[in-house]
Structure 1
Amino acid sequence: MDENLRRTVDAYRRLATSMNRAKTHERLTEAAGVRLDRPDVQILVDLLDAGEPRRIGKIAESLQVESPHVTRHVAALERRGLVERVRDPDDGRAWRIALTEEGGQAALACRRAASQWFEAALAGWSEPERAELARLMDKLADDMCAHLKGQMESTSSAR
């Protein structure tokens, strides 16, 4: 492994570890004024990002988890009034999951809290540095997601 790759992987690992700590999630939801588990936040933000109701399978694909995992969390979110089931306009027998107004507000509050952390961390960065980081993070996310999706597909087809 070359030195730049080692540094990139190490930096990513440190950032991911820090962001995925239970205490970090607790601080995020506290700052957002909501009490939600990490998967609940991920589902709400995924629906917010999609901008439209989604089927369970699409949410699971987007979060790179299995559908039963999403189904359990959606049921809990539905009981709390944060999401609701709506008929799929493409298939009247199927359902999509939609944010309620309260669910949308919770997702926005979590996004705002996380954005404020990044804003504070990048406060000393110049605009060109921020632009370069955004460009490279987009590229890394796209390439890594495509790579992992390809690996998952090749693994499932080999079974």
Structure 2
Amino acid sequence: MTNSRVESGFDNIGNGLYRLQRLLSSRRVSSSLADAADLHVSQQGMQILRALRDGESRPVAEAARAARMDVGAASRQLRKLDDAGLTERSASSDNASVVLVRLTGRGAELAKRLQHVNNQHLRDALLGWTSAERDQLGHLLVRLVDDLQRTPYRSGT
């Protein structure tokens, strides 16, 4: 295979990943998802709901990391979610300086609804795919993410 064909393959993968990243971070997509799930929270609020959907109490910093947000932004968003009765905070019994956050019953219900709408959308989008194609996509996505996380960046020169 020639070097230009190899580079073209990487360009196609990069372009596909770029398009996927833009799609997943789109405010329009988040708004459509929120409407379909009958949620009245921001895009960042949905990120926090997803990060906390396992039902466990966790430190705010850990919730922020799971939501891919900085701690300040996550704290501001958590204040709004607390006010809406979707999350609640408490001091850690092990370390009073650590603030834990978890979903309330209503927050867990909304996170579950959000996940259901997300899953239905994915099922609808992949309706024309065979079971083998869906399995292959799932395995390749997990493999790609694992490989990207463990591969350091190098200079392009």
1:130 maps to amino acid: R
The answer for unaligned runs of 5 or more in structure 2 is 1-5
* Alignment of structure 1 residues 67-146 onto 2, 5 Å: 67-146=71-150
**Higher helix fraction (1 or 2):** 1
1:39 maps to amino acid: Q
Instruction: Provide the identity percentage.
Output: 25
Structure 2 counterpart SS, 1:48? coil
Matching of residue 39 in structure 1 with residue 30 in structure 2: no
The separation in 2 between residues aligned to 1:17 and 1:112, in whole angstroms, is 22
Question: Which is higher, the Rg of structure 1 or of structure 2?
Answer: 2
The answer on whether the counterparts of 2:85 and 2:106 sit within 8 Å (CA) in structure 1 is yes
Distance 1:38 1:91, change over 3 A: same
Distance 1:75 1:27, change over 3 A: same
Which residue is 1:8 aligned to?
13
Task: Give me the TM-score of the superposition, normalised by structure 1.
Answer: 0.83
The answer on whether the counterparts of 2:50 and 2:67 sit within 8 Å (CA) in structure 1 is no
Which residue is 1:64 aligned to?
68
Q: CA RMSD in A?
A: 1.9
The answer for unaligned runs of 5 or more in structure 1 is 152-159
Shift of 1:98: 0.6
Task: Give me the TM-score of the superposition, normalised by structure 2.
Answer: 0.84
